[in-house]
């Protein structure tokens, strides 16, 4: 569902467990690219999944950040 009307905690709850990494990332440095970051919940959940799969590090790149 659209997250535009949700607050920070609701976005965090909605993003928890949203992603699962099935690719070979163990020991690799991975970049996650997102168009707009509001609370960071989505990229945070993606980074958590990548780290759990063994990524050495995760760098987040965003095109725009909302205030």
3-state secondary structure of 29: strand
Q: Could you tell me the CA-to-CA distances from 5 to 2, 15, 19, 54 in Å, in that order?
A: 7, 15, 22, 34
Backbone Cα Rg of the chain: 12
**pLDDT 10s per residue in the chain (67 long)?**
566 666 667 766 666 667 888 889 999 999 999 998 888 888 888 999 999 999 999 999 999 988 7
pTM: 0.74
Enter the tokens of residue 44. Answer: 């945070």
Enter the tokens of residue 21. Answer: 């990494």
């Amino acid at each position: 569902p659209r997250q535009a009307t949700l607050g920070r905690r609701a976005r965090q709850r909605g993003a928890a467990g949203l992603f699962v990494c099935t690719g070979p990332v163990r020991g690799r440095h991975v970049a996650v690219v997102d168009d707009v970051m509001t609370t960071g919940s989505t990229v945070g959940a993606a980074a958590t999944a990548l780290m759990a799969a063994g990524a050495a590090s995760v760098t987040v790149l965003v095109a725009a950040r909302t205030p």
